[in-house]
């Protein structure tokens, strides 16, 4: 039922959550900033002090909550 757009959102969400594993639910809390690397310049204040490189192969089998800044990491002037 979670794929049926005719059903109310709460019904669809409850069905989807009942089908997800704990690993898939936890993965929804993750975000990945494509293009942000440890060897580049900081884009966000203290970015490299509070983050590590992401192993996408290890992360993606369970899903991903969001992509941060998917259209670029360069600051807007």
E strand map for 4-52: 31-32
Task: Identify the pLDDT of residue 9.
Answer: 97
Show me where the domains of the chain are located: 22-77
Tens-of-pLDDT digits for all 77 residues of the chain?
A: 999 999 999 999 999 999 999 999 998 998 877 665 556 565 666 666 666 676 778 778 888 888 877 776 666 66
DSSP class of 75:
P
| Backbone Cα Rg of the chain | 17
Neighbours of 33 (CB within 10 A): 17
- Cβ neighbors of 3 (< 8 A, separation 6 or more) are 12
Task: Identify the pLDDT of residue 22.
Answer: 96
CB 62 within 8 A of CB 27: yes
């Amino acid at each position: 039922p979670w794929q049926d757009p005719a059903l109310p959102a709460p019904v669809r969400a409850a069905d989807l959550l009942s089908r997800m594993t704990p690993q898939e639910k936890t993965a929804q809390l993750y975000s990945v900033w494509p293009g942000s690397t440890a060897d580049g310049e900081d884009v966000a204040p203290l970015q490299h002090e509070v983050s590590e490189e992401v192993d996408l192969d290890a992360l993606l089998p369970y899903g991903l909550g969001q992509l941060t800044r998917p259209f670029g990491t360069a600051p807007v002037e």
